[in-house]
């Protein structure tokens, strides 16, 4: 049944990253709701196509320069625009039953606006709150506002929940709702799919995420140098002021003589196809991740997974039963794991079958949407306790 709660979905960006892919699923069919974005970009159309009306702030230009690991001193020149966005949010929120903040920046401004709006506020926390990602003042501000204003804090994993609580967040606020998705394997062989996509034959591995140092693409490139004959596709682009890192990756490829074996594909809309075309999917993050959407995509697609042993990955892969785990930042260990996967793929069939069953059971799209829909209904004014 279509939901009738009037939800104000808030996101700080107009670009489409991992958190925004989740938001695109959550808003599906919510024609009574509104999405409020701080900045322009392709996300606005993607959301409006799925149901809600979309408002883009007139004051968000330049806010993307303030990154989550930035000093708050860098926000001072943006103070006027931030105040204007808060006023906009407070005004729009009055017409809605629930406010749903989909990012850290969105939550902070929504929480401040809620001093006036006084609406139930849900924070979908897609990050691990730790010194690796946020400054001390940012962590105190986020957690303090959550403890004071949030009705619920949705996190995608136990790792993200533990980090929020360790930072001082109230345990009673936290609801663990694993990200969910649906991927159906294509009725064609991997080689046929590669020919269709124009990808090289032979051993092929892939990494699928935005280009950012903590995502660890440079570790995969270093590992590939130890695997003669193997190719790699790097799918994703620098979205949030990380163009310098993207340039470093290309320089690294040139210095290692891998120009003919590393293929930068940029942002792509056909990620499920590309995912199913590789012999192994690598998740090389050097800092703990709150979730790993690409891990689940690969599990559903029947593709072997190699991930770093940190954050949510050990839980998703059931500590190695549904995929291989390697130490973060260890290019040699990653190269050895890739060599094992590429050399004898038939040995992995029992693991791949188990991974697929686990993904469909624990990380289905329907399960995620049912859980989030129930939380929204339960926090709205007049909900039965």
Residue 65: per-residue pLDDT: 55
- Amino acid 53: pLDDT: 97
Residue 3: band (very low, low, confident or very high) from pLDDT cuts 50, 70, 90? low
CB 82 within 8 A of CB 12: no
For residue 11, pLDDT over 90 is answered with yes
Res 1: pLDDT: 41
Nearest CA-CA partner of 23 in 242, 222, 179, 221: 179
Assess contact for 283 and 294: CB atoms under 8 A: yes
* CA–CA–CA angle 345, 347, 349 (5° rounding): 85
Residue 74 pLDDT: 58
* Superfamily, domain 7-180+364-379: Glycogen Phosphorylase B; (3.40.50.2000)
- According to the model, what pLDDT value does residue 303 have? 94
Give, as one character, the DSSP assignment of residue 89.
H
40-78 pLDDT tens trace: 999 999 999 999 999 999 887 656 555 555 555 555 556
Domain boundaries, the chain: 7-180+364-379, 190-362
pLDDT, residue 68, reads 54
Structure tokens at 120: 């139930």
Mean pLDDT value across residues 334-351: 92
CB 145 within 8 A of CB 110: no
Distance CA 360, CA 180 (A): 9
Pairwise CA distance, residues 28 & 24, whole Å: 7
Q: Are 7-180+364-379 and 190-362 equal in CATH topology?
A: yes
Task: Read off the tokens for 257.
Answer: 């003589």
Q: Estimate the crossing angle of helix 243-255 against helix 217-224, to 10 degrees.
A: 10
- Structure confidence by residue, pLDDT tens digits, 284-319: 999 999 999 999 999 998 999 999 999 999 999 999
Mean local confidence (pLDDT), 335-347: 91
Beta carbons of 92 and 117 less than 8 angstroms apart: no
Backbone angles phi, psi at 346, to 5 degrees: -65, -25
Kindly state the average pLDDT of the residues 350-361: 94
- What's residue 76's pLDDT? 54
Q: What is the pTM of this model?
A: 0.83
pLDDT band at 147 (very low <50, low <70, confident <90, very high): very high
Q: What is the pLDDT of residue 175?
A: 97
Band the pLDDT of 80: cuts 50, 70, 90: confident
pLDDT bin (cut points 50, 70, 90) of residue 131 is: confident
- Tokens 């596709």 appear where? 233
Q: pLDDT averaged over the chain? A: 91
Residue range 16-32: average pLDDT? 94
Q: Token pair for residue 141? A: 């501000």
User: What is the per-residue pLDDT across 317-332, written as a single tens digit (0 to 9) for each?
Assistant: 999 999 999 999 999 9
- Res. 157: pLDDT tops 50: yes
Q: Which fold has domain 190-362?
A: Rossmann fold (3.40.50)
């Amino acid at each position: 049944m279509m939901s009738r709660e009037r939800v104000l979905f808030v996101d700080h960006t107009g670009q489409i990253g991992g958190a925004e892919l989740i938001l695109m699923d959550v808003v599906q069919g919510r024609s009574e709701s509104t999405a409020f974005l701080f900045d322009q970009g392709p996300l606005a159309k993607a959301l409006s196509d799925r149901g809600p009306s979309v408002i883009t702030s007139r004051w968000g230009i330049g806010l993307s320069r303030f990154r989550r690991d930035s000093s708050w001193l860098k926000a001072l020149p943006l103070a006027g625009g931030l105040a204007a966005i808060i006023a906009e949010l407070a005004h729009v929120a009055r017409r809605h039953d629930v406010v749903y903040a989909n990012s850290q920046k969105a939550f902070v401004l929504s929480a401040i606006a809620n001093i006036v709006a006084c609406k139930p506020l849900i924070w979908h926390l897609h990050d691990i709150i730790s010194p690796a990602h946020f400054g001390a003042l940012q962590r105190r501000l986020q957690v303090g506002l959550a403890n004071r204003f949030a009705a619920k804090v949705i996190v995608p994993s136990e790792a993200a929940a533990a980090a929020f609580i360790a930072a001082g967040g109230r345990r009673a606020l936290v609801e663990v709702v694993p990200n969910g998705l649906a991927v159906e394997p294509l009725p064609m062989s991997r080689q046929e799919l590669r020919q269709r996509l124009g990808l090289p034959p032979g051993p092929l591995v892939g990494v699928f995420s935005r280009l950012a140092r903590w995502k660890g693409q440079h570790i995969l490139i270093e590992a590939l140098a130890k695997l003669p004959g193997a190719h790699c596709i790097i799918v994703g682009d620098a979205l949030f002021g990380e163009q310098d890192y993207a340039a470093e990756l290309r320089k690294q490829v040139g210095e290692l003589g891998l120009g003919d074996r590393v293929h930068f594909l940029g942002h792509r809309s056909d990620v499920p196809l590309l995912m199913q075309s590789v012999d192994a999917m690598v998740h090389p993050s050097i800092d703990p991740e709150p979730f790993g959407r690409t891990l689940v995509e690969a599990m559903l697609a029947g593709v072997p997974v190699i991930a770093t042993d940190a954050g949510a990955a050990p839980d998703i892969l059931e500590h190695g039963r549904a995929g291989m785990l390697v130490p973060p930042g260890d290019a040699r260990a990653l190269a050895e794991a890739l060599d094992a996967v590429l050399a004898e793929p038939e040995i992995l069939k029992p693991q791949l079958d188990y991974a697929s069953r686990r993904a469909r059971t624990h990380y289905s799209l329907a399960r995620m949407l049912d859980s989030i829909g129930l939380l929204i209904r339960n926090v709205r004014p007049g909900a039965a306790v």
